[in-house]
Structure 1
């Protein structure tokens, strides 16, 4: 890292920051990219800095941890203003995967246009946020832009219907952002949008009569065997009855993310070496992975569930060191917290069908207790635009610094991306 970046990293203490990544999906519901959201945590209201102004400092810190780990194989969208664009921050970024998002209202001066043109020659691409096509600055920037983002929260459908085709005529890729419901997704899909940003895919759309796939039913049956006092031999027989299940389980447990020294070659080895709780973890992951197989692109729900599970596990390890049991329960809470979206079933039904201890049920249903606090923190980070004021109190309550949080988040992102590559 250069001397300049060290100076940049020292301008503001890293403990004042935390980060999030908001998924951007393609038309087939596969993961395309993430908008990287950086927040500084002011001590009082007078110290609130603009999010974008904080970005340069945070990127410098995140670059030390490895921004590539946060983005994975996806595209990373970063908000930039004039000050950030003119900084030397770009030497740390994986340029082939970074899209620089120009904030609304940034003046298109000659020096700014020259800088954008220069960065384009180095492989960076650009997005315009909430653009109005008739604005003079937009007209100047448009030739250098690949993506246009339109906010469905602030823009009525009539405006989207008018604007979308005008940008499409200029061959711009359209991103609909802040999509919260399936209906909004469908409407923007019909308008020809290319990408969709928001957490609509994690909302439990309760569909009456939805049936679980045969392999999901098999996994659920196996989970109940694993959590009961069934003999190992009985569990092995159940796995071997489903050849695909056995194959996928062995592939998953051999992911480098586990850090096993020796390859596990048989179901009996998996049951013996991993132990019940670890086996339970991979079965939970397989529940999300099975529906994802229909498309080859990364499943956003699987990514979100494994990231939550791993982040909760790492937080529990940090807060309750040496209590492996607590960390494993935390993982279960994180991964189960999206099963209502996965199955289209209320969470109350899920905790009745899948046997869980009371602490897990309380965390999943009411966000109470230690595990509920961890889950609430993870959800606030994901939705930091709405829960910005809740993250720091949650961290204080748990007695963890945001510097530690960022370190654990990056580790969780990296682990999840690696596991998901093996899972589908």
Structure 2
């Protein structure tokens, strides 16, 4: 059986150590992915050596040719925070400028040298963003050179935002609502005319009383129950064949490059033999997020987040528990299932009753308990961008081992990108 979740990619020589990457999505008005804001954070192993996260960003960007920025964002645009020192340097000269936006932090003053530098870089194709509240009165001088203006919902009273946003829209700048944490906030900003929305509001559970799974989702859940049980292959194949769309989509996704198979799978019986039940369960879980025609673009960011989280947890488990394949598999399951309450709009407790899972997986999903719960909290911490985010003792263990956390994340980002392109 081919192992589609092998750790080969993440087992390459590690080059950049003791950093991890916070990657927060920005979605457009159709809820399609537009960009990621990237922040490189330091781990406990070297926090004494690097004074600020901006210095960490500068240090990692200096190795960007080695890191490969496109690996972090796929086809999306990258927003990178820069201060005056970074702005006046040439460390980002080799970045793909057509897909890079330099975001000016609050310490950047609108001095003549800075304005001259912005104009120079703009002439070379770079674009700039700034957050309105942190720049205050300086925003007016910077505004002619900006392409994007951010409005932080947590830093600006609603009354001020209602006054500011129409004025900013009149300048022709693209507006980004930052720290959008709920669907209500998203809808408010949508009505105000924001162009992009940053935050994890799309991943917040919104329980709908009486919500039922769609027929195709029910078919997938029933099929997963057969796969994890001792059902015969012929019974599993028969269940798949009852749903033509399911059959077609399953064959398509197991032939994606992310599956890592060395031969093409042309039949369901062949898939069951070559892929194996463990991997079949994985692809069925992913397919739950990619139900055709149900939510359209809204599924793309959720599928991307779930598959990235699952893959990262799998790779982390492989590093922390080497040689224990079943542990890595369980870590993947916890990661992919951790957003299903959002996907289905039902409580997680109800889901773990419908989908067969072990006590360890259930504890991780419901209580963030045990080894897998700690991995899940770690993955969630990676996704957040707040200062001083809790990166947990597990991160210290990884950092002390000398492993390059960024490289593990890059492997997860790339794998997830392949999955999304093939699944939708």
Q: TM-score, normalised by structure 1?
A: 0.91
Of the structure 1 ranges 204-213 and 13-22, higher mean CA displacement relative to structure 2 is found in 13-22
Partner of 1:213: 214
Task: State the partner residue of 2:100.
Answer: 98
Match of residue 168 from structure 1:
169
Q: What does residue 278 of structure 1 align with?
A: 279
Which digits, 9 at most, give the CA deviation of each residue in 1:307-363, with x for residues without a partner? 011001111112222221111111101100111111111111111110101111111
In structure 1, distance between residues paired with 2:106 and 2:399: 37
Structure 1 counterpart of 2:72? 70
CA distance in 2, matches of 1:80, 1:177: 17
**2:30–2:297 contact (8 Å) kept in structure 1:** no
- Partner SS state of residue 29, structure 1: coil
Deviates more, 1:280-289 or 1:369-378: 369-378
Describe how 1:24-423 pairs up with structure 2 within 5 A: 24-41=26-43, 49-131=51-133, 135=137, 137-290=138-291, 294-296=295-297, 299-385=300-386, 388=389, 390-391=390-391, 393-397=393-397, 401=401, 403-423=403-423
How far, CA to CA, are the matches of 2:231 and 2:80 in structure 1?
A: 50
Which residue is equivalent to 1:10?
Answer: none
* Number of residues of Structure 1 aligned to a counterpart in Structure 2: 410
Q: Give the distance between the partners of 2:345 and 2:400, measured in 1 at CA.
A: 34
Deviation at residue 394 of structure 1 after TM alignment: 2.9
Q: Secondary structure at the match of 1:299?
A: helix
Kindly indicate whether the alpha-carbon contact (under 8 Å) linking 1:307 and 1:412 is maintained by their aligned counterparts in 2.
yes
Describe the SS at the equivalent of 1:15: coil
Q: CA deviation at 1:165?
A: 0.6
Structure number having the greater helix percentage = 1
Match runs of 1:6-17 below 5 Å: 14-17=16-19
Q: How far does residue 401 in structure 1 lie from its aligned partner after superposition?
A: 4.6
Bigger mean CA deviation after superposition, 190-199 or 88-97: 88-97
Runs (4+) of structure 1 exceeding 6 A deviation are: 43-48
Q: What's the secondary structure of 1:350's corresponding residue? A: helix
Name the CA shift for 1:154/1:310 in 2 (closer, same or farther; >3 Å): same
Give the TM-score normalised by structure 2. Answer: 0.91
Name the SS for the 2:81 alignment partner.
strand
> 8 Å contact 1:30–1:295 — kept in the other structure?
no
Could you list the per-position Cα deviations for residues 45-94 of structure 1 after superposition, in whole angstroms to 9, with x for gaps in the alignment? Answer: 87662322321112223541211100111111111111111111223312
Q: Is the 8 A contact 1:82 1:112 kept in 2?
A: yes
- The runs of 5 or more residues in structure 2 that have no matched partner are 1-14
Aligned with 1:176: secondary structure?
Answer: strand
Distance 1:394 1:43, change over 3 A: same
CA positional deviation for 1:26: 1.1
- Mapped to 2, the partners of 1:255 and 1:244 lie a distance apart of 17
Q: What CA RMSD, in Å, does the superposition of the two structures yield over aligned residues?
A: 2.2
1:385 positional shift: 1.1
Q: Cα gap change, 1:333/1:292 in structure 2, threshold over 3 Å: closer, same or farther?
A: farther
Note if contact 1:41-1:392 (Cα within 8 Å) is conserved in structure 2: no
Answer whether contact 1:223 1:283 (CA < 8 A) is retained: yes
Instruction: Flag the 1:41–1:405 CA change in 2: closer, same or farther, 3 A.
Output: closer
For the 8 Å contact 1:254–1:264, the answer to whether it is kept is: yes
Q: Supply the distance in 2 between the matched residues of 1:15 and 1:25 (Cα, whole angstroms).
A: 30
- Provide closer, same or farther for how the CA distance between residues 118 and 246 of structure 1 changes in structure 2, counting only shifts above 3 A: same
Change (3 A) 1:400 1:344: farther
